[in-house]
DNA sequence: TTTAACATCTTGTCTGACAAATTTAGCGCA
DNA sequence: TGCGCTAAATTTGTCAGACAAGATGTTAAA
C-alpha cells in the first residue's frame, strides 16, 4: 500500500489543483528560471494523474505566463515569469468610476512627486507634447480623452518606476470606457476645458521646476476637481450607460464631448 | 471537394488559432454574455479539429476570463469579462523591492485614511486580531511576515474599495518573496520588532479613532521606516539573493528572522 | 400539482496511439 | 582526437475512443 505519488485531494477541479501545486513549486524555486521541468508523463506519475490533466495544468501556467513549451523539447519555466492581476470589468457606473479614481488619486499624486524629482529632459518634453496634443484634439472637436490619458501617462513614465505605469495603464483601460460615456455633455465642455488646461499647466510647471511637493499638490487638486466634475453629470451618465449596454460595436473616435479630466 | 469545416490555416499553434477565432467570435457578439456556446464536440466539428484542441482553446479563454465552464452543463461566455494586468517578476533585489514599496506607500497611506473613515466594527476587529497574530507568530519564533502582510491587508479591506486589496494583494506576492530573504538577519530582529509593533499600534489607534489624517500620517511613517529598515542590510540581502538563485528546494516555513515591516 | 426516478447530454478525466519537432547518440571520416 | 552527418530516442502536439461526474429535461407515480 505504498504511495509514491503526491495524492491529490479530490476537489472541484483536479487540473486546477495540479496547476496550483506546480505554480507553488515553481515560485518556491524547485525549478529555476529557464529550467526545464519534468516531462508531462513524469509529472503525471508524480501527481498520480493522466497526461491530459498535466497538459491542462501546464496550459494554465502557460497562459499565465509562468512557463513556455516547445514541441519536441519540453516545458520550461519562463525566463521572465509573470504574475497577473485579473479584474472583472464592472458595470460602468458612477460608483465604480469613483472607486477607480480613489485608487488613482494617491498613485498619480505620488507619480507627480517622483516625476518632479527624477524626470529626464526627454520625459519632460513628452509631457509638454502631450499637453499640446490635448489642445489640438479639443480644437479639432475631439473629446481629447485619449490625449488626456496620455498626458497623465507621460507623468507616470517620468516617475521612472515601471509599476506606476503598469497599474495606471491597467486602470486606464476601463476608465477610458467609463469616461467616454460622459463626453457628449456639450454644455459643460467650455468651462471644463479651461479649468483642465490650467490645472495641467500647474502640474507641468511644478514638475519642470523640480518642486516635488508643489507637483503632488497640483496633481491632488487636479484629481479632486476631476472627480467633482465627474459627479456633476451623474444622471446623464447613468442613463447613457444603460443605453450603451449590449451595443456590440462602439466606434471609438467620435468627436465632441466634455472631458471631466 | 466540399468542406463544411472552417479550415484552420496551419501555423505554429493550432489550439492558439482556434482560441483566437473563438475569442473573436465572442467579442463579435456571436454569443452574448452568459450565453452557452456550442459543445466541445460541435466546436470540434465546426473547426475540423479534435476535442483535445477545442478543450485547450477553451482552457485558454477560461484562463483569460472570457468563458467559464460547468461540468455537465457546458461552457458559457463570462457574465463579467475581465482584463488582466500581467507583470514580469523581476530579479529579487533591493532595487526592485524599493520600487514596489514606492508604489505601495501612497496606496497604503490612502487605504489607512479611508479605513479610518469607513471601517466597520468587524473590520476593525480583524485588524486587531491581525496584530495579535503577529505577536504570537513572533513569540513562536516565526518571522511573522505572513501575519504582517495580513495586518496590512486587513487595513486595505477596511478601506472598502476592492481595488486597493486587489493591487496590494498583487504586489504582496513579490514582497513576500523578497522579504523572506531578509528574515535571517537575527541581529536586528529585537530592535525591529519593537519599532514595528509601536508603529502598527499607532496606525490602529488612528483608524479606530476615525482620525483619517492621523491614520495616513502613521501609515506613512511606518512605511518610511520600513524602507529604512530594509535598506539597513542591503549587502546581506543581495548576497543571499545571489546565493538563492538556482537553489532547487527552499523550505517555505522556516523560523526566525528580522522582519523589516 | 408535486415529487421522485430515469434517460440524456456535457464537461472532466483516463488510456492509447501517432505526428512533428527537438535532442541525443552513434558512426564514419579526416 | 575532433568534427560533421545520420539515425534513434525523447518530448510536446494532436487525434480517437471510452468512461466518470454532474446537470438537465422528461416521465411516471403519489
D chain positions with any atom within 7 Å of a protein CB? 10-18, 21-24
User: Do B61 and B100 belong to one domain?
Assistant: no
Cβ separation B86–A65 shorter than 8 A: yes
User: Do B20 and B104 belong to one domain?
Assistant: no
Asked if B100 has any chain A CB less than 8 Å from its own CB, the reply is yes
- Residue closest to sugar C1' of C10 by CA: B72
Tell me whether residue A28 is in a domain: yes
Tell me whether residue A220 is in a domain: yes
pLDDT of A72? 94
User: Do B132 and B230 belong to one domain?
Assistant: yes
User: Do A120 and A57 belong to one domain?
Assistant: no
Tell me whether residue A87 is in a domain: no
User: Do A230 and A126 belong to one domain?
Assistant: yes
Per mean pLDDT, which range of A79-93, A98-112, B143-157, B233-247 is the poorest? B233-247
- In this structure, what is the dihedral angle of CA atoms B120, B122, B125, B126, given to the nearest 10 degrees? -100
Burial bucket for residue A72 (CB in 10 Å: 0-12, 13-18, 19+): exposed
Residue B116's CATH number: 1.20.120.530
User: Do A127 and A19 belong to one domain?
Assistant: no
**Paired strand residues for A82:** B88
C1'-nearest nucleotide to the CA of A70: D12
Residue of A nearest to B84 (CA): A86
Asked if A246 has any chain B CB less than 8 Å from its own CB, the reply is yes
Mean residue pLDDT across chain B: 81
pLDDT of B31? 93
d(CA A43, CA A57): 10
User: Do A63 and A99 belong to one domain?
Assistant: no
User: Do B211 and B140 belong to one domain?
Assistant: yes
d(CA A164, CA A108): 8
Residue B59's CATH number: 1.10.10.10
Nearest by CB to B163, from A63, A86, A103: name it: A103
pLDDT digits (tens, 9 = 90+) for B71-130: 999 999 998 777 777 777 666 667 788 899 999 999 999 999 999 999 999 999 999 999
C chain positions with any atom within 7 Å of a protein CB? 9-16, 20-23
User: Do A20 and A140 belong to one domain?
Assistant: no
pLDDT digits (tens, 9 = 90+) for B223-233: 999 888 877 76
**pLDDT greater than 80 at residue A248:** no
User: Do A122 and A66 belong to one domain?
Assistant: no
Tell me whether residue B82 is in a domain: no
Which 43-62 positions of A have CB less than 7 A from strand D?
A: 52, 55, 58
Q: Domain residues for A169?
A: 94-244
User: Do B42 and B148 belong to one domain?
Assistant: no
d(CA B17, CA B8): 8
Tell me whether residue B176 is in a domain: yes
Asked if A171 has any chain B CB less than 8 Å from its own CB, the reply is yes
| Residue of A103, A216, A219, A249 to mutate when probing chain B, most B C-beta within 10 A | A103
pLDDT confidence bin for A73, thresholds 50/70/90: very high
Average pLDDT over residues A78-104: 79
pLDDT digits (tens, 9 = 90+) for A225-234: 988 887 776 5
Confirm whether any atom of chain D, the nucleic acid strand, is less than 7 Å from CB of A73: yes
Residue B162: list chain A partners with CB under 8 A: 99
Residue of B nearest to A69 (CA): B13
d(CA B172, CA B97): 11
pLDDT digits (tens, 9 = 90+) for B148-170: 899 999 999 999 999 999 999 88
Domain tally for chain A? Answer: 2
Tell me whether residue A259 is in a domain: no
**pLDDT greater than 60 at residue B242:** no
User: Do B37 and B100 belong to one domain?
Assistant: no
Confirm whether any atom of chain D, the nucleic acid strand, is less than 7 Å from CB of A232: no
Tell me whether residue B254 is in a domain: no
Tell me whether residue B98 is in a domain: yes
d(CA A223, CA A171): 15
The closest alpha carbon to B48, from B84, B109, B104, B3, belongs to B3
The better pLDDT of the pair B258, A125 is held by A125
pLDDT of B161? 95
Amino acid at each position: 500500500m505504498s504511495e509514491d505519488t503526491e495524492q491529490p485531494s479530490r476537489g472541484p477541479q483536479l487540473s486546477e489543483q495540479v496547476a496550483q501545486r506546480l505554480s507553488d513549486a515553481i515560485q518556491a524555486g524547485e525549478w529555476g528560471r529557464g529550467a526545464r521541468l519534468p516531462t508531462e508523463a513524469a509529472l503525471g506519475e508524480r501527481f498520480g494523474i493522466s497526461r491530459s490533466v498535466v497538459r491542462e495544468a501546464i496550459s494554465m501556467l502557460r497562459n499565465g505566463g509562468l512557463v513556455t513549451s516547445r514541441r519536441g523539447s519540453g516545458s520550461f519555466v519562463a525566463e521572465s515569469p509573470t504574475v497577473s492581476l485579473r479584474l472583472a470589468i464592472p458595470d460602468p457606473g458612477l460608483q465604480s468610476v469613483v472607486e477607480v479614481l480613489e485608487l488613482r488619486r494617491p498613485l498619480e499624486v505620488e507619480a507627480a512627486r517622483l516625476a518632479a524629482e527624477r524626470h529626464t529632459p526627454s520625459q519632460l518634453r513628452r509631457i509638454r507634447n502631450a499637453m499640446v496634443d490635448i489642445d489640438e484634439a479639443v480644437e479639432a472637436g475631439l473629446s481629447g480623452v485619449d490625449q488626456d490619458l496620455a498626458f497623465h501617462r507621460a507623468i507616470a513614465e517620468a516617475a521612472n518606476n515601471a509599476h506606476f505605469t503598469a497599474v495606471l495603464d491597467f486602470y486606464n483601460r476601463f476608465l477610458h470606457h467609463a469616461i467616454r460615456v460622459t463626453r457628449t455633455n456639450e454644455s459643460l465642455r467650455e468651462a471644463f476645458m479651461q479649468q483642465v488646461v490650467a490645472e495641467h499647466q500647474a502640474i507641468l510647471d511644478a514638475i519642470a521646476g523640480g518642486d516635488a511637493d508643489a507637483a503632488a499638490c497640483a496633481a491632488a487638486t487636479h484629481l479632486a476637481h476631476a472627480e467633482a466634475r465627474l459627479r456633476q453629470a451623474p444622471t446623464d451618465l447613468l442613463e447613457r450607460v444603460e443605453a450603451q449596454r449590449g451595443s456590440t460595436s462602439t466606434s471609438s473616435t467620435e468627436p465632441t464631448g466634455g472631458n471631466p479630466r
